[in-house]
Structure 1
Amino acid sequence: MSRSSRRGHRRLAAVTLAITASMFLASCADNGSSGGGESVESGSALKIGLVNEQADPGTPTAGGTLTFSGYSAVTSLDPAKIQVAGATGGSELSAIYDVLMRYDPIEKTFVPQLAQSLEPSSDSKTWTLKLRDGVKFSDGTSLDSKAVVDSINRYVNNKAAQSSLWAAKVASMDAPDASTVVFNLVDPWTGIESMLSTGPGMIVAPAAQQGDQFTPIGAGAFTLERFAPNEELLLAARPDYFGGAPKVDKLKLISIVGAQPTAEALKTGGIDAAYMRTLTPILDLIENGNPGFIDIPSLGYIANVNMAEGRPGSDLRVRQAMAMAIDPETLNTRVNNGKGLPGQVIFQDTSRWHNDVAPTGVDAAKAKELLDQAKADGFDGKVTFLSIQEPSAQSTALGVQAMLNAVGFDTQIEYVTGAGDLVKRMYVDRDYDMSTAAGSLSEADPFERLYTGIKSGGRNNVTNYADAEMDVLLDQLGVATNDEDKKAVLAKIQERATETVPWIVWGNVPTLDVWNTNVHGLKQSIDGIMLFDSVWKS
């Protein structure tokens, strides 16, 4: 392997870790219940949307610092180096770069942010982006069509998180004038809207990259004042932001370790806003009266099963037996004191993509029958469940072990120290039989993570799942251009998933963008990302 190839391999591994860590961490957060009030007693009472909506606050006031605690500490300010999501620096980076488009989760539609408009051709194979007049990067240069094309090309060339799908879907980009970018697609595709709301839509200034040196220069509402990786990001308001100078003077962006300490910091005013994805503190904050936005990504609590040759999961009967042996309701009782969102379907009834297709079902007798068939063909019944040493993860592991062993498996639990070790074992080394994971499918557009997660041979397909019929369905989902057609294909994907078990689904984990009652003007976007350009404190 050449030196450049080794560098490329290390870079890809690092990006893979960044992508998957946020998805995994959602599933292994401490979801145990120790309170949560009377009016919202469980996750089953939660619905996607605003909670504790605020009355009209009156005229915005200027000044002050807003302190936000993200789910994980920011380690890079380059959107081509991280997975841009609410859990992994998406809100923080959007303050510096902004995004071309924003997803409005209330209206369930994409709206222009830095862009003025984004319009498809009649066949959705050509999309035309118009830029706003007068938008400038923080170094004073203009955000024009060439800057957009160059930034997206840089993103793809750096093999960033969404680069492979972008490269597969976008044939070329044209810049016919300074304010217009035309995206020429390989096939009809609406996913470009979500792409331009996340990493590819965070446009870095031409001067940002100078050789190996990267400087965070964007067109967002704030500029860098201080960055201590894993500790604090301090941003200052831009008086020349295209939407007008932000009302707050500074953003202080940190990450408090632990969901309960984060919730307590909100209650005491130590922080002003946060991103949460742990059930008990979420219920507690809602009961406390904190305003916020609840999201419930699909496939939030699942098990990945390694289907590589020689692994137990390579036998479909073994995967089916696992799925039928493990009761999500029992896991919910053990892990969440019965307060979670258990289920076996991809899209629960909280999702706009929900369908009535039956899941695998829980059937211990059938599971034993399938396992016995596999054993008759030489399977020894042994399987290892990989887990971190953390209370709720251990509860999950022990529950899985008990239910699998009850139908005839010989299940051993292998503990690793932390999430990073587990992510490496599962997503980089592919050295595992079975482990907790998360798909975290966005309500805005579930295609991207379904496609990259279970498409045969896909970069993020860490289970080695390969099914020609599912590949056809994923391709059909990719070219569906309206919600009705997408729902029809997603129902077929559920049917095929029930038959072929690409993962074992145990339920969902809610997330909460949350703030104190004196905070106003926060805007939600895709995947838990918040935009701060209009925020103010009363």
Structure 2
Amino acid sequence: MRRRLAAIALAAVLSVAACSAPADEVGMIPTSAAKGESAFVYAQHLDVITDWDPATSYSNEVKVLQNVYETLTIWDPVNKKAGPRLATSWKATSDGRTWTFNLRQGVRFHSGRELDATAVKQAIERTMKLGQGASYVWDAVETIRVNDPHSITFGLKYAAPLDLAASAAYAAYIYDTSVVEKVRDGKTDAGSGPYTIANWDKGGEHQVTLKAFDGYWGGWDGPHYRSIRYRVVPEPERRWELLQNGQVSFVDRLSPRLFAEARRTPGVRVAATPSFQTAMLLFNTREGPMRDPRVRKAVQRVIDYPRVIASLRGAGTATSGIVPAGLPGHVRNRVPRQHLEQARLLLQNAGHGPGGRPLTLTLTYADGDADQQMLVSMLTAALKELNVTLDADAMPWLEQWDRGKKGDQDIFFMYWWPDYADGYSWLGNVFRSKDPVVFNLTYLKDQVADNQIDQLPILSVTDRSAAEETVADLTERLLDQRTVAVFPWVVRYQRAYLGTVAGYDDNPAYPDVVFVYDLRPAA
């Protein structure tokens, strides 16, 4: 994943033992929502929309588009597998190379066109042809055959978990290709979801408004929010104030201090959920001082991991390997530890460290991200004691990424979460060799690792235990043998929302998305 590029830029802003941590049920703030107002107001710090096209969108608009568009399947965090959405059932052949999906009947796009197998085929083929954003989730697809109006079969080049790919947060949307070219101005959409676009005020505070699509296949019986408003409020204190005043319904991220205050505030519910989002320090294995594995190992061992977790004050949990808990491929009992004496000896063996040649390392990280800044400050101080200077540069994400693709830094600090709920997303995107560089910002070229990574989609379908063993082997090779990265924490989302909002659950496969149709406005 790529990743909602705008969202990575500033957020501590996409593992679970359960769908979400229990929300705190407390009193009630007297608000318009409590009096029957049917609008759900989502407050966030970044612009909501960078791209309206469901085929190419790859950023913060996932919060909006998941309420407007639908995918064939959706990740079920309780059962930890793909569940039905636009497809009601599916099956694969024993070799994992042929998948047939049966489609939900009675579904219409907002354009009025009926959703059928032909429409599904056209949408996926267009996404594949454009080849932008996360379109690679369909890379295994070789042929698409319409069997009848409500059945479609995919022939794959190699075995792959297509049911998971079809649930991806990006590029898996099914849309009406006959109108999709008109969506770029934000005045219309090509989706089939419960909400449709009402207004887009580009760059404004009240940026996007969605309204209920009366023809939605799920119906509108019972209490529902009939509209959604996405409000852009950069200042965290103001977002919290607006929530307390009942002017917004939901805030997707609070600082530890504000979250603690929210827990004590009558009329506010909170949820703290381990996510699938990992913080990563990627080491430049191609050029500069980090080409020396002794220097890379030393940086790994300098970090005081327990202190980092404590400093996050509940906003992060300890990592174990590359893939977070709750996903296939998670390796237990690999919590990293600090070893300052080992770091000193490694640096001295490389000719640096106390009494050796001075060493300067460059690092880039997300401008405005307090959590990343905290770790950078700790790392700077610890390295200074070992005669190493850390030259850290905070940058907007797109600038940082452009610099990263040139290999113009020793350490690249970023977040990653999966396109769909599988550990392959980290290994295939971040650690497999690619030329030109995209997200493989360690610049590693390791044919053994590449071969193992390429086998993962096949094994995940044909031999799950072998797939998990392969991920364990890759984790050891990448983190211990090649020493290409550090994973200091897994993000723990800290949400706050009005006590009048019922039915909220966090789905970690869709970072910061609220599926508003599933909520109930409670009096």
Match of 1:495 in 2: 476
User: Contact 1:386–1:434 (CA<8 Å) still a contact in 2?
Assistant: yes
Match of 1:186 in 2: 157
What is the CA deviation profile of residues 71-130 of structure 1, one whole-angstrom value per residue up to 9, with x for unaligned ones? 63222222223226xxx2223112211232121212322211122223222232221111
Q: Which amino acid aligns with 1:249?
A: R
What is the CA deviation profile of residues 297-332 of structure 1, one whole-angstrom value per residue up to 9, with x for unaligned ones? 356222122223x32222222211110122222334
Q: Does 1:534 align with 2:518?
A: yes
Match of 1:120 in 2: 92
Match of 2:424 in 1: 447
Alignment counterpart, residue 504 of structure 1, candidates 479, 486, 492: 486
Match of 2:250 in 1: 273
Q: Distance in 2 between matches of 1:442 and 1:291?
A: 29
Match of 2:312 in 1: 336
Match of 1:74 in 2: 48
Q: Distance in 2 between matches of 1:51 and 1:495?
A: 35
Q: Distance in 2 between matches of 1:207 and 1:350?
A: 39
Q: Does 1:367 align with 2:343?
A: yes
What is the Cα deviation at residue 470 of structure 1? 2.2
Alignment counterpart, residue 235 of structure 1, candidates 196, 205, 210: 210
Match of 2:101 in 1: 129
- Worse-matched range after superposition: 383-392 or 348-357: 348-357
User: Contact 1:103–1:524 (CA<8 Å) still a contact in 2?
Assistant: no
Q: Which amino acid aligns with 2:341?
A: A
Q: Which amino acid aligns with 1:498?
A: D
Match of 2:227 in 1: 250
| TM-aligned CA distance change 1:183 to 1:279, over 3 Å | farther
Q: Which amino acid aligns with 1:68?
A: Y
Match of 1:140 in 2: 112
Alignment counterpart, residue 421 of structure 1, candidates 399, 408, 415: 399
Q: Which amino acid aligns with 1:93?
A: L
| TM-aligned CA distance change 1:122 to 1:278, over 3 Å | farther
Give secondary structure in 2 for the equivalent of 1:319: helix
Aligned positions, number: 495
What is the Cα deviation at residue 389 of structure 1? 5.5
What is the Cα deviation at residue 423 of structure 1? 3.6
The aligned runs of 1:44-63 (5 Å cut-off) are 49-52=20-23
Match of 1:219 in 2: 192
| TM-aligned CA distance change 1:531 to 1:211, over 3 Å | closer
Q: Percent identity?
A: 19
User: Contact 1:304–1:435 (CA<8 Å) still a contact in 2?
Assistant: yes
Q: Distance in 1 between matches of 2:8 and 2:109?
A: 32
The aligned runs of 1:98-177 (5 Å cut-off) are 98-167=70-139, 169-177=140-148
| TM-aligned CA distance change 1:419 to 1:261, over 3 Å | farther
User: Contact 1:296–1:350 (CA<8 Å) still a contact in 2?
Assistant: no
What is the Cα deviation at residue 415 of structure 1? 4.3
What is the Cα deviation at residue 141 of structure 1? 0.6
Match of 2:322 in 1: 346
Q: CA RMSD in A?
A: 3.5
What is the Cα deviation at residue 136 of structure 1? 0.6
Please give the TM-score of this superposition, normalised by the length of structure 1: 0.81
Question: Structure 1 unaligned runs (5+)?
Answer: 1-14, 30-43
User: Contact 1:387–1:415 (CA<8 Å) still a contact in 2?
Assistant: yes
What is the Cα deviation at residue 192 of structure 1? 4.0
Q: Distance in 2 between matches of 1:206 and 1:351?
A: 33
Q: Distance in 2 between matches of 1:360 and 1:472?
A: 26
Give secondary structure in 1 for the equivalent of 2:351: helix
Q: Which amino acid aligns with 1:406?
A: E
What is the CA deviation profile of residues 410-448 of structure 1, one whole-angstrom value per residue up to 9, with x for unaligned ones? 3223344x444334433x444222132122347932212
Please give the TM-score of this superposition, normalised by the length of structure 2: 0.83
Q: Which amino acid aligns with 2:381?
A: A
| TM-aligned CA distance change 1:50 to 1:104, over 3 Å | farther
Question: Structure 2 unaligned runs (5+)?
Answer: 27-33
Q: Does 1:407 align with 2:386?
A: yes
| TM-aligned CA distance change 1:465 to 1:209, over 3 Å | same
| TM-aligned CA distance change 1:279 to 1:402, over 3 Å | same
Match of 1:4 in 2: none
Match of 2:30 in 1: none
| TM-aligned CA distance change 1:446 to 1:45, over 3 Å | closer
Alignment counterpart, residue 471 of structure 1, candidates 444, 450, 458: 450
User: Contact 1:50–1:291 (CA<8 Å) still a contact in 2?
Assistant: no
| TM-aligned CA distance change 1:346 to 1:183, over 3 Å | same
Match of 1:34 in 2: none
Give secondary structure in 2 for the equivalent of 1:173: strand
Q: Distance in 2 between matches of 1:206 and 1:347?
A: 36
User: Contact 1:156–1:164 (CA<8 Å) still a contact in 2?
Assistant: yes
| TM-aligned CA distance change 1:295 to 1:229, over 3 Å | farther
Q: Which has the higher helix share?
A: 1
Q: Which amino acid aligns with 2:111?
A: D
| TM-aligned CA distance change 1:271 to 1:439, over 3 Å | same
| TM-aligned CA distance change 1:89 to 1:278, over 3 Å | farther
What is the Cα deviation at residue 152 of structure 1? 1.4
Q: Distance in 1 between matches of 2:57 and 2:227?
A: 23
| TM-aligned CA distance change 1:352 to 1:185, over 3 Å | closer
Q: Does 1:204 align with 2:175?
A: yes
Give secondary structure in 2 for the equivalent of 1:266: helix
User: Contact 2:98–2:156 (CA<8 Å) still a contact in 1?
Assistant: yes
Q: Which amino acid aligns with 1:22?
A: A
- Worse-matched range after superposition: 93-102 or 476-485: 476-485
Q: Distance in 1 between matches of 2:289 and 2:171?
A: 38
Q: Distance in 2 between matches of 1:394 and 1:523?
A: 30
| TM-aligned CA distance change 1:62 to 1:449, over 3 Å | farther
Q: Distance in 2 between matches of 1:26 and 1:389?
A: 9
Q: Which amino acid aligns with 2:348?
A: D
What is the Cα deviation at residue 338 of structure 1? 8.3
Match of 1:305 in 2: 283
What is the CA deviation profile of residues 461-514 of structure 1, one whole-angstrom value per residue up to 9, with x for unaligned ones? 122122223223322332223764443333222211222223112112112455
